[in-house]
Structure 1
Amino acid sequence: MKAALAYFAKRVVAGLLVIVPIYLAILVLLKGMKSLGQLVRPFSKLLPEWLPAEQFLSLILVLLICFFIGAALRTRLGERTRTRVERGVFEKIPGYGLFRSLTQQVAGDSRQNVWKPALVEIEDALVPAFIIEVFEDGRYTIFVPSVPTPLAGAIYVLEASRVHPLDVSFTDAFKVITKWGLGAKDLVAAMEAGTNRREVPMLVSKADGAP
């Protein structure tokens, strides 16, 4: 009975981790459209009557505001302002930093080291995983997602020799997990290609020093 309840609870949490951010994003979008309704109402009369002009213009205006905010955050001043706000407010919210890194990885920010795809050695197998944290002594905190709910899984602390970071995007690794392992051969190929690139300079240096 306890095992069944634990199984059910894990699946509920995994579902919530997917649904809640989507729900909140839609809620904020609708709230923004409603707030801007009065502002765009005079312009909505210029469009055909069959078109839901007020909702359409409100949506366009909200998206434009999001675009300009996103563009401003890419500037040096915007980056400093965002950092101050995050440190002063948002980073006090449990789990904010981790999920911020997750969303940045989804957006293709290659500078992020958190949620970096990897293949890790567990027993005699290679397991798709994500790097969450790097220790000062070189060890890694690893998140191994479950299938097919990759936002639930297990946490491991592994030696560096058992962790193979991959030069692939977060979304590519995420798809492999959600597709029950389909495409894992591409992750193995990326690992082997990275290993070969590291070995070539070592071989060259030995050759240069040979008599």
Structure 2
Amino acid sequence: MKQLLGYFTKRVIAGLLVIIPIYLAILVLLKGMKSLGQLVRPFTNILPDWLPAEQLLSLILVLLICFVIGAALRTRLGQSARERVEKGLFERIPGYGLFRSLTQQVAGDSRQTVWKPALVEIEDALVPAFIIEVFEDGRYTIFVPSVPTPLAGAVYILEASRVHPLDVSFTDAFKVISKWGSGAKDLVAAMENAKPRLDPAVTTHKVDSIP
């Protein structure tokens, strides 16, 4: 009974970690649309009566505001302002930095080193995982997700020789885990392609030069 309760609790938490960000995003979107309703109301007459003009225009305006903010954050001034706000306010919130990196990975920011996909050596197996942080001595903090709920799992600290970072997107690695390992061959191929290969000509030359 205790094991069943623990299993149920872990799965509920994993589901909440997926649902809560989506719920909050929708809540903020609806709140923003409601706040902008009065602003777009004078323009509703240009649309047909059968169309929910106020809601539609509010949604478009909210999306445009999000686009402008996102584009501004890509500039040097925007990045500087964001860093000041994050350091002064958001980074004091426990777990903010980690989940920020996660969302940036999902958005395709290849510069992020947190939540970088990897294959790690655990016992005699290669295990899909994500790099959470890198120690000064070269070791890694690794998160090994469970299947098929990638946001729940176990944390390991491994030597660099047992960690193989992959040049694949976060979403590709996430899909492999959520699909019970289907597509893992692509992760292995990415790891093998990243390994340095000896030039056959150089190897032959070295062998021939031995007296």
Task: Report the TM-score when normalising by structure 2.
Answer: 0.94
Alignment match, 1:2: 2
SS in 2 for 1:45: helix
1:125-204 map, 5 Å: 125-195=125-195, 198-200=196-198
CA deviation profile, 1:161-204 (whole Å, cap 9, x unmatched):
11111111100000000100000000001111111xx2448x95
1:111 aligns with 2:111: yes
d(CA) in 2 for partners of 1:67 and 1:206? 57
d(CA) in 1 for partners of 2:131 and 2:119? 9
Cα shift at 1:3: 1.3
d(CA) in 1 for partners of 2:20 and 2:93? 16
Q: Tell me the amino acid that sits aligned with residue 117 of structure 1.
A: P
Alignment match, 1:70: 70
**Structure 1 residues 71 and 46: alpha-carbon distance in aligned structure 2, compared to 1, 3 A threshold:** same
SS in 1 for 2:55: helix
d(CA) in 2 for partners of 1:39 and 1:55? 11
**Structure 1 residues 205 and 89: alpha-carbon distance in aligned structure 2, compared to 1, 3 A threshold:** farther
CA RMSD of superposed structures (Å)? 1.7
1:47-66 map, 5 Å: 47-66=47-66
CA deviation profile, 1:114-173 (whole Å, cap 9, x unmatched):
000000011111100000011111111000000000000000001111111111110000
Alignment match, 1:12: 12
d(CA) in 2 for partners of 1:7 and 1:186? 30
Cα shift at 1:205: 9.8
SS in 2 for 1:34: helix
**Structure 1 residues 98 and 204: alpha-carbon distance in aligned structure 2, compared to 1, 3 A threshold:** farther
SS in 1 for 2:133: strand
Alignment match, 1:88: 88
* Unaligned residue ranges in structure 2 (runs of 5+): none
SS in 2 for 1:130: strand
